[in-house]
Amino acid sequence: MALSTRHLLGIKDLNLSDIEQIFETADNFKTVLNRPIKKVPSLRDVTIANIFFENSTRTRLSFELAEKRLSADVVNFSASSSSVSKGETLVDTVNNILAMKVDMVVMRHPYAGAGVFLAKHVKAQIVNAGDGAHEHPTQALLDAFSIRERYGEVAGKKVVIVGDILHSRVALSNILCLKQLGAEVMVCGPTTLIPKYIRSLGVKVEHNLINALNWCDVANMLRIQLERQDIKYFPSQREYTMLYGLNKQILDSLDKEITIMHPGPINRGVEITSDVADSKQSIILDQVENGVAIRMAVLYLLAGQGA
């Protein structure tokens, strides 16, 4: 059975059965990834282009690895070293790549809605690997999958997302995904970094980190997105760390043991200290491992090979 959507542009395009199907497929692929031979021929003869207009390490490597594990043919494209720097438009760039008979495009772009725009103009299937401060669907799927792996289910779990909610595509996708799966969601951060209408998404808002941590089962710590901030949203990084940075002392003082997550890249010593990031309560590296399985599942199902 394939997904109900032809593209993966955002979590808002997926229904609950889509998400559950991705998780079940990812369970199977995770078994494959732990075998001595980690490759399956599922996407042989499918060509996938990874088009990244923004810097990326984890997401790009994770997608590339997922594609190669599925035996797809992979083309990598970096905007900084391409004709985009000579003034070529997004549609022209992608159409030129598609003229080379590419079946699927994985794209990251600094502008929100770039994937939606592209899906209307080109024939290939589009997977959004992050568009501006809008959505990052595969990150939300792997985060929810990691919570499911840790607790057995996501429904009923209390998840707090801490940090720069305003500029974070991870936060929006996570909220949409976790709410669909029946989790309770809270956001926590300085007033200036919490979007005005966030409550309309059905989330709680808290400005005190300790209160938020005592409420939650899982804390997802986001980094400060300095590259997207056009003005100063708080006095200094040091002050932000004093109020919203998570250290071992705070973690040990809580009434219960909570799970720590981070989408990466981590700014150690700012939103989270090294002893927290590397503690047994942290599932940050599990998230990275699950990312490959989730992206394999998404590509496999979108390619219609799940039939």
In a shared domain, residues 143 and 280: yes
In a shared domain, residues 162 and 271: yes
Rounded mean pLDDT of 72-77? 93
Domain presence at residue 62: yes
In a shared domain, residues 188 and 245: yes
The 3 state secondary structure assigned to the chain is CCCCCCCECCHHHCCHHHHHHHHHHHHHHHHHHCCCCCCCCCCCCCEEEEEECCCCCHHHHHHHHHHHHCCCEEEEEEHHHCHHHHCCCHHHHHHHHHCCCCCEEEEEECCCCHHHHHHHHCCCEEEEEEECCCECHHHHHHHHHHHHHHHCCCCCCEEEEECCCCCCHHHHHHHHHHHHCCCEEEEECCHHHCCCCHHHHCCEEECCHHHHHHHCCEEEECCCCHHHCCCCCCCCHHHHHHHHCECHHHHHHCCCCCEEECCCCCCECCCECHHHHCCCCECHHHHHHHHHHHHHHHHHHHCCCCC
In a shared domain, residues 174 and 296: no
User: Which has more pLDDT, 274 or 304?
Assistant: 274
User: Which has more pLDDT, 36 or 232?
Assistant: 36
Instruction: Please give the mean pLDDT across all residues of the chain.
Output: 92
Do the annotations mark residue 139 as ligand-binding?
A: yes
CATH number at residue 258: 3.40.50.1370
User: What pLDDT is attached to residue 301?
Assistant: 97
In a shared domain, residues 153 and 280: yes
In a shared domain, residues 93 and 182: no
In a shared domain, residues 278 and 152: yes
Domain presence at residue 5: no
Do the annotations mark residue 169 as ligand-binding?
A: yes
| pLDDT per position as a tens digit, 168-195 | 999 999 999 999 999 999 999 999 999 9
Do the annotations mark residue 223 as ligand-binding?
A: yes
Do the annotations mark residue 295 as ligand-binding?
A: no
Q: Considering only 88-97, 279-288, 289-298, which range has the smallest mean pLDDT?
A: 88-97
Is the pLDDT at 47 greater than 80? The verdict is: yes
Domain with 270 in it? 137-286
Rounded mean pLDDT of 109-132? 92
Do the annotations mark residue 5 as ligand-binding?
A: no
In a shared domain, residues 52 and 155: no
Confidence of residue 274 (pLDDT cuts 50, 70, 90): very high
What's the structural domain count of the chain? 2
Do the annotations mark residue 93 as ligand-binding?
A: no
Is the pLDDT at 273 greater than 50? The verdict is: yes
In a shared domain, residues 218 and 142: yes
Is the pLDDT at 307 greater than 60? The verdict is: no
In a shared domain, residues 182 and 143: yes
Do the annotations mark residue 195 as ligand-binding?
A: no
